[in-house]
Every structure is written in C-alpha cells, then in structure tokens.
Amino acid sequence: MKLLMALAMLLLFAAFSTSLNAQSKPDEMSDVRLETQILTTYTLSPYLRANDLQVAVQDGEATLTGMVDESVNKELAEEIALGVEGITSVKNDIEVKADYVPPTPTGERGYGYGELVDDASITAAVKSKLLWSKHADGLATEVATERGKVTLKGSAGSAEAKEFAGRQAASTRGVLGVDNQLRIDPDITKNEAKEAAAGTDKEMSDGWITMKVKATFMYSSNVSSSDISVTTEEGVVHLSGKVDSGAERELAIEHAQNIRGVKSVEATALTF
C-alpha cells in the first residue's frame, strides 16, 4: 500500500510537470523544476523532512525560508540547494529557533513521503540480505516495515534459520525493531535437501559473491562498508582494511560467511 501511494505521488508529479510544460515559459519551467528538486531532497532527508521549509527559485537563485531547530540544519538546507545543478546562488532566510516544534506529517497514518521511502528501502534491503544468504532456501519470508519496525512473517525451516532472519533484519540500517513472527516448518529444509541432492543447487560466481558481500556490508548498521575491501577467489572471500573493533571484525566475517556460494572467509588482513 505504501509503495502504491508513493508511485501514485510520482505519477501525479509527472502529470503536474506535463501540465506546466504546456502552460509555462521555458525559464519559468526551469525554476519550478529546480524548486521541486530541492524540496524533494529535503523531503527525503531525515534531518530536514520534518521542518516546514519553502523554496523559491528565480533565474537560478534559490531563496530558502521556514524554520528549523538547529543552525546545522539551516546550513544543510543551503548546501543541498547549492548542490543542485542549475542553482547559481542561495539566499538563506531560514530562521533558527531552539524551541521550534516541527508540524505533524501528513499522509497515510500520519506518514510523510520521506518516511514511506525509508520504510520501502528498509524492506528492500532486508529482503535482499535474506535472498542472498545460505539460509534463503530455508526461508519463505514476507517482510513489512512501518516507521522503522520490521515484521517478518511466513516460514523458516529451522529455529536457526528463524533466528538468522531476525538478526539480519535487526542489523539493517534504519531498523528500529523487529517482530519475528516466522513459523518453523521443517518441510522447507527437506525440500532444500532434495533439490541439492538432485544437483539443482547452483554455484555462484566469484564476481556475484563479491558484489553481494559488499552490498550486505552497505545495508548493515553494524559494519563500516567503506573501510573494508572484498575480493573472492574460487569461493573464498578475502577481507582487508580496518574496522573499529574486534566485534565489528567478527560481524563482517559472519556477514560474508552467510552469503550463498562462500566456501570460507580469509580475514587476516582485516584489522582494528
């Protein structure tokens, strides 16, 4: 429902843009496009979306108005506007007021568009992490996210698979809580064993493994993906770089080991 709502909003925006194209002069249309681009970025930013900000653009100059509770958010709004191609200057008239209370978001269940996008992104990340894992064939999982809380429904082939799914969801960036409602169904694991015995289990390429390990790190809140280098040779994943702690190192190894096709993980070059 949330994704359909987001899609409907995008379609409405497209229709609105088409109408403007037919009625506005080229310069006016360009200014409206820039205003919309800046406001959309504000809406998607978790630091700015709750604030009541307005943007007016004329001949490439953006004027920002509204109110925020911290000066750093005022500066962020200006930097975002300056980063939009076509904006030549910014007049920042945003007022900073320490006791400012942002307005309540509108939309489904009080959601703003940014929150809908956040939840949809979390759902996609959790689904991807589960799909890429060695436990994927032992899971038949439905994933839903509401205000950062993930709900898992469906079946797991074992208690281990259920626990694994819960850990993967909990460690995903942006997740605030997990309600693991998976039922344990041993028949899933039995079917998986039959397929493996019949030779239906596919061997993953080294390139695929490397890509999925990197993506899993990027989606995970407990591992700094930018500091870890990943390569794979004949199913052996090599991790190198520097992390903040021994716990983070162990989590990086665990994430890599859980990816389909990984035979082992070599992490002597991953230090802290």
Banded model confidence at residue 185, pLDDT cuts 50, 70, 90: confident
Which of the four CATH numbers 3.30.1340.30, 3.20.20.150, 2.40.110.10, 3.40.50.150 does domain 2-6+22-96 have? 3.30.1340.30
Six token digits for residue 210: 């490397």
User: Which among 118, 38, 120, 134 is positioned nearest to 81, based on CA atoms?
Assistant: 38
| Residues contacting residue 232 through CB under 8 Å, at least 6 positions apart | 206, 207, 209, 210, 213, 238, 262
Looking at the predicted structure, is the pLDDT value of residue 9 above 70? no
Which of the four CATH numbers 2.10.260, 3.30.1340, 2.40.30, 3.30.420 does domain 206-271 have? 3.30.1340
Within this chain, domains 2-6+22-96 and 115-197 share the same CATH topology = yes
Least confident range of 2-11, 92-101, 200-209, 240-249? 2-11
Q: Between 217 and 21, where is the model more confident?
A: 217
The pLDDT of 227-243, averaged and rounded, is 94
Q: How many residues in total does the chain contain?
A: 272
Q: What is the pLDDT of residues 84-97, one digit of tens each?
A: 999 999 999 999 98
Task: Calculate what percentage of the chain has a pLDDT beyond 70.
Answer: 80
The pLDDT of 23-48, averaged and rounded, is 78
- Fold of the 115-197 domain: Histidine-containing Protein; Chain: A; (3.30.1340)
Banded model confidence at residue 101, pLDDT cuts 50, 70, 90: confident
Task: Calculate what percentage of the chain has a pLDDT beyond 90.
Answer: 52
